[in-house]
Every structure is written in C-alpha cells, then in structure tokens.
C-alpha cells in the first residue's frame, strides 16, 4: 500500500486508517500503520489526531518516539555519516567531512556580529510567494534531499523524499516540519550540515564552487531555514516563553560556558515546553561515568521567529516541541552546578538586522536583559564594533559567488 493511500482522509469525518485503528484500540494494526510511515499529525473533522483517540497507556505508548535523543544533545552520538564517502574534497580549506564534532553554537566576542550577517543573508528581497516557495522546495528536494539521502536508510529515505514531494506538489511548507519531526536521522543530518557549513564559512571563507561540503548542502539548508524564518504560514507558530533542553557531554566540554557569555545558535534546536520531557531524554543519555547532564532553560522574549511552537504540527504532539531557529542569540545569565546535573539559564538577546529603502544596512541589538546582566557580557563588549564597523569588514559569504535571490 502506498503512503498516500495509508494517509487518505475519508469523508465525511476526514479520518485516516490510523484514526480508525486507534478508535478501535487495535494494537497490531496501529503498529503496522506506524511501521509503514502513517502520518500522525493529520487531524479529523473534529480536529483530533489519531493519538488523541487512544484510551489506554498501552495504546498511547505506541505513538511515542522510541530510543530518542531529540531533546538531549548527546556528544557520543554525533558521529557524522560520510557524505558520498571518498567523493568529498574541500580544495579551498583544510576542513574535511569526517567524524569531526561540529558545535551547535558560537561563543566569541564577535558572535553577535556574525549572527547579524547570517540573518541578513537569509532575508529575502521579496515575500515568499507561491513562485518563490516552489523554487525553494525544488532546490531542497532535487538538490539537497536527493543527494543527502544517499546516506539514509531505505525506509527513512523514502519517507523524507515523500514528504518533500508532497510539500512541492501541494505547495505546503508544513511538510518540512513533518519530515523534521518524524525522522531523527534526517534532523540530525540537517543540523550537522548547518553547523559544518557555518564553520567552513567562518574558518576559511569557503565558496561552494570550490568546497564540495558547501556545494552539496548549502543551498538546501539555507532554503529550509529561509522558509521557516520568513514564510507567512509559520508566523502563527511564533513562540514566547520558557523552554527546556538537555545536554549530555563530558563535563569539561562546556567549560567555556560562563555567566555573561553570548551564544549564537547555528542549527535548529529542539526544545520542549514541558521540563519533564527534556529531563527524561536528558537522563537517558547519562550512561557512563565521564558524561555529565546539563539542563538548559531558555527564556524566549521575542515572538518574531526566534522559535516556533510546532507541538500541534509535529508528528509527536506529546513532546510539546518548540523549535529554536538558527542564528538566535542568548545570554547566559546563571549557572547552577550540581553533582549529577548542572542547570544553565539563558535569556534571549533580540538581534535585528534592518534594511533601508536604499539597501543600506543598519545593525541594532535590542537587549532583553537587565543592565546588570550585560555588564560582563561579550555582547556589550562588542556593541561599539557592531554599531561603528563598516560592512566591508564583515566578510560576505563569497565575493565570487553570484547571489540567486530566488533561492536565498
């Protein structure tokens, strides 16, 4: 049976086979449908997902993610899958696509300036209309997905490819969230590519025409980020509030985390509105004596696409997921060290990159922290540089690379 047949919503109730099986509490059929990739987030005429029709814990547990590290950044599992095996050759830089561990954040005195530059490059010249969306989705599917899924399992590859095919034909960007939440291998792959691309850019100023790592992934990752940051359909999911995430790493890995440091995210970060969810995943990662659990509490104060509340469109609604978008800035305001778990409190710093009608650039930082929190921060140290430095000191991604406005 094809996936579109499995997910067919039968009128008048608009229920899928998964809805019917769950309503009848049929464990075997539910397992079979989920195994074959039934879409969990589809809602019937009453606005219910199949999960909401489960009456017992046994049936509800069938819908939960198994063996997940989604809300726990596990250093031990971050081994990069080889892309095209021996085909990758970065002729313009010393970086290679091996098992290098790429950080998901930047901490340095110029971090805010770099975040402004990356956000500026992702700002579309026009709104993302149907034509632009189609071009971006085509770029993602034909360029990034087709190439990158050579490293995925057959089952994962078919699922992800199918969701992006639906997104393209139906002109529905919600399927990006479906793909991101249904398959951990895909979300992990996407985030590693994003982190690696930032390092390639910042370390040696790679061009995608001379660096295979960038050539094979940059267009796709930027298009995905651009859609989530700027497409109007996601504005309704903008989130303000407190969210949680676990980090399980050797304790000295985060020695550079200091109160007053400013962190810029370089990837998508999955967090949860429910601290219990993040804590469970965090605990699962603590499996050896060298690992230490860090519990991060993010305070998000700007509802303009710093983070998206995707809990209602995620394939796993029970996770209460909030997705923090790339190039968001957070100030570490407090660190509470514990024997088993260290708590890190982070408050959003609202970065704004504004363009005048003459395309001149004005950089500004709107701090949401109180003055005392900023006294020792790297963000404040760099404030004058950001306001006074001319743009020619901010290296563009590649002065030899033509900018295709329809894609970026």
- Over residues 102-116, the mean pLDDT reads 68
1 and 36 Cβ atoms separated by less than 8 Å: yes
Is residue 1 scored above 70 in pLDDT?
Answer: yes
Q: Which phi and psi angles does 335 have, rounded to 5°? A: -130, 125
407 or 194: which carries more pLDDT confidence?
194
- Over residues 304-329, the mean pLDDT reads 92
Total-model pTM: 0.78
Q: How far apart are CA 63 and CA 75, in angstroms?
A: 27
For residue 178, the model assigns a pLDDT of 94
Q: How confident is the model at residue 205 (pLDDT cuts 50, 70, 90)?
A: low
Is residue 371 scored above 80 in pLDDT?
Answer: no
For residue 391, the model assigns a pLDDT of 38
304 or 189: which carries more pLDDT confidence?
189
DSSP code, position 140: I
For residue 46, the model assigns a pLDDT of 95
The sign one gets for the Cα dihedral 301, 307, 308, 310 is negative
293 or 29: which carries more pLDDT confidence?
29
For residue 166, the model assigns a pLDDT of 93
96 or 137: which carries more pLDDT confidence?
137
CA distances from 337 to 82, 289, 293, 347, 349 (A): 37, 17, 10, 18, 23
Q: Which of 297, 305, 324 is nearest to 242 (CA)?
A: 297
Q: How far apart are CA 188 and CA 231, in angstroms?
A: 23
Helix-helix angle 154-170:174-182, to 10 degrees: 170
Least confident of 31-45, 194-208, 213-227: 194-208
50 or 109: which carries more pLDDT confidence?
50
- Over residues 314-326, the mean pLDDT reads 93
Other Cβ atoms less than 10 A from the Cβ of 116: the count is: 22
Q: Which of 49, 46, 23 is nearest to 38 (CA)?
A: 49
For residue 206, the model assigns a pLDDT of 64
Q: Is 212 exposed, middle or buried (0-12, 13-18, 19+ CB in 10 A)?
A: buried
Q: How far apart are CA 401 and CA 209, in angstroms?
A: 8
For residue 333, the model assigns a pLDDT of 95
For residue 188, the model assigns a pLDDT of 86
Q: How far apart are CA 365 and CA 353, in angstroms?
A: 8
Q: How far apart are CA 189 and CA 81, in angstroms?
A: 8
> Domain residues of the chain, as ranges?
3-62, 84-95+119-234, 237-393
Q: pLDDT tens, 92-108?
A: 555 444 445 556 777 76
113: alpha, beta or left, given left = phi > 0 and alpha = psi -120 to 50? Answer: alpha
Q: Which of 45, 49, 38, 47 is nearest to 8 (CA)?
A: 38
Least confident of 10-14, 285-289, 340-344: 285-289
Can you tell me whether residue 323 is helix, strand or coil? strand
- Calculate Rg over the CA atoms of the chain: 22
Q: pLDDT tens, 58-81?
A: 999 999 887 656 665 554 444 444
Q: How confident is the model at residue 388 (pLDDT cuts 50, 70, 90)?
A: very low
Please list the residues that pair with 292 across neighbouring strands: 249
For residue 203, the model assigns a pLDDT of 63
Least confident of 36-40, 118-122, 286-290: 286-290
Is residue 167 scored above 90 in pLDDT?
Answer: yes
For residue 298, the model assigns a pLDDT of 97
Per CATH, domain 237-393 is 3.90.176: yes
Q: Which of 328, 323, 163 is nearest to 237 (CA)?
A: 323
The sign one gets for the Cα dihedral 229, 232, 235, 236 is negative
Q: How confident is the model at residue 42 (pLDDT cuts 50, 70, 90)?
A: very high
324 or 79: which carries more pLDDT confidence?
324
Q: Which two tokens stand for residue 254?
A: 């985060």
For residue 183, the model assigns a pLDDT of 86
For residue 172, the model assigns a pLDDT of 96
For residue 148, the model assigns a pLDDT of 78
Which CATH number is associated with domain 3-62?
A: 1.25.40.20
Least confident of 126-130, 240-244, 368-372, 388-392: 388-392
For residue 15, the model assigns a pLDDT of 96
Q: Which two tokens stand for residue 6?
A: 């499995």
Taking all residues of the chain, what is their mean pLDDT, rounded to a whole number? 76
Q: Which of 263, 369, 256 is nearest to 324 (CA)?
A: 263
Helix-helix angle 154-170:130-138, to 10 degrees: 160
323 and 187 Cβ atoms separated by less than 8 Å: no
């Amino acid at each position: 049976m094809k996936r579109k047949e499995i997910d067919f919503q039968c009128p008048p109730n608009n229920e899928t086979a998964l809805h019917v099986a769950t309503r009848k509490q049929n464990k075997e059929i539910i397992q079979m449908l989920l195994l074959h990739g039934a879409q969990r987030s589809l809602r019937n005429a009453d606005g219910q997902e199949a999960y909401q029709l489960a009456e017992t814990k046994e049936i509800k547990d069938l819908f939960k993610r198994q063996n997940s590290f989604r809300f726990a950044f596990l250093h031990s599992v971050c081994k990069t899958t080889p892309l095209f095996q021996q085909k990758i050759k970065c002729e313009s830089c010393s970086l290679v696509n091996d098992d290098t561990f790429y950080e998901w954040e930047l901490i340095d005195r110029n971090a805010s300036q770099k975040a402004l530059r990356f956000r500026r490059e992702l700002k579309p010249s026009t709104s993302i209309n149907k034509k632009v969306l189609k071009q971006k989705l085509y770029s993602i599917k034909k360029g990034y997905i087709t190439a990158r899924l050579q490293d995925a399992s057959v089952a994962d590859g078919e699922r992800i490819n199918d969701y992006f095919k639906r997104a393209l034909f139906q002109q529905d960007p919600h399927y990006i969230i479906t793909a991101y939440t249904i398959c951990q291998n895909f979300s992990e792959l996407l985030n590693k590519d994003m982190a690696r691309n930032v390092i390639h850019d910042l370390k040696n100023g790679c061009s995608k025409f001379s660096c295979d790592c960038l050539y094979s992934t940059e267009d796709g990752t930027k298009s995905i980020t651009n859609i989530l940051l700027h497409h109007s359909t996601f504005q309704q999911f903008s989130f303000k509030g407190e969210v949680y995430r676990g980090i399980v790493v050797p304790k000295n890995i985060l020695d550079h985390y200091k109160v007053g440091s400013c962190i810029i995210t370089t990837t998508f970060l999955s967090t949860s509105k429910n601290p219990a969810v993040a804590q469970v995943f965090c605990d699962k990662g603590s499996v050896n004596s060298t690992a230490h659990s860090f519990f991060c509490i993010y305070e998000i104060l700007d509802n303009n696409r710093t983070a998206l509340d995707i809990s209602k469109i995620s394939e796993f609604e029970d996770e209460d997921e909030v997705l923090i978008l790339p190039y968001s800035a957070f100030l570490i305001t407090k660190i509470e060290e514990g024997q088993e778990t260290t708590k890190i409190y982070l408050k959003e710093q609202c970065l704004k990159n504004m363009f005048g009608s003459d395309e001149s650039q004005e950089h500004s930082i709107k701090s949401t922290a109180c003055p005392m929190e900023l006294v020792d921060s790297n963000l404040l140290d760099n404030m004058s540089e950001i306001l006074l430095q001319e743009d020619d000191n901010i290296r563009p991604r590649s002065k030899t690379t033509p900018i295709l406005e329809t894609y970026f």
